[in-house]
Amino acid sequence: MLSLRQNGQILERPAGVSAIVAICGLVAAVSLVYAGLLLAGRIPLSAGAFLVGGGIEQLGPVAFLLYGLILVVLAWALWWRWKGARRVVIFLAAIGIALAVPTISSAVVDERGLAIAREGVQIMVRVIAIYYLSQEPVKEWFAQR
């Protein structure tokens, strides 16, 4: 994973960081598309509820636009190894997990399999990201900048 060293510094970008950047970019693109579709009146607000969660979609296209822009900035910051980006992503992933709990609980009670799977995948991806970004080699890679 982090094999190339020069003068004690890790030079290679960890593969997991690249994967997290790609996921952030993909979700940001989807969020920005939803914002555009909402502005054009092509889809209802509820269509993007799975993306932002917690009832935040009721704020309209602005919520999707802000979410997309935040993810673009975070992806950029992770890619360029900004020290604080790792902590911000961990914090936002934890908030995302907390926001997903009521949705998945409701889906379980109502026996909605697709919603359970969708929220479950989101929770797992966020837990994996938190776990990965908390590993010592990744922390060390960010600390070297």
Looking at residue 46, what is its pLDDT?
84
- Pick from 47, 54, 51, 50: nearest CA to 98: 54
pLDDT in tens, 100-109: 999 899 999 9
pTM of the model: 0.85
Q: What pLDDT digit, counting tens, does each position of 57-102 carry?
A: 888 899 999 999 999 999 999 999 998 999 999 999 999 999 899 9
Rounded CA gap, 11 and 136, in Å? 15
Q: 96: closest CA among 69, 120, 117, 66?
A: 120
Q: What is the pLDDT of residue 124?
A: 97
Which regions of 4-100 does DSSP assign to beta strands (E)? 5-6, 9-10
> Would you say how long the chain is, in residues?
145
Any idea of the CA torsion for 44, 46, 52, 56, to the nearest 10 degrees? 100
Structure tokens at 28: 């940001």
Question: What is the CB neighbour count within 10 angstroms for residue 115?
Answer: 17
Question: Which residues are within 8 A (CB) of 92 and not within 5 positions of it... i.e. 6 or more apart?
Answer: 70, 74
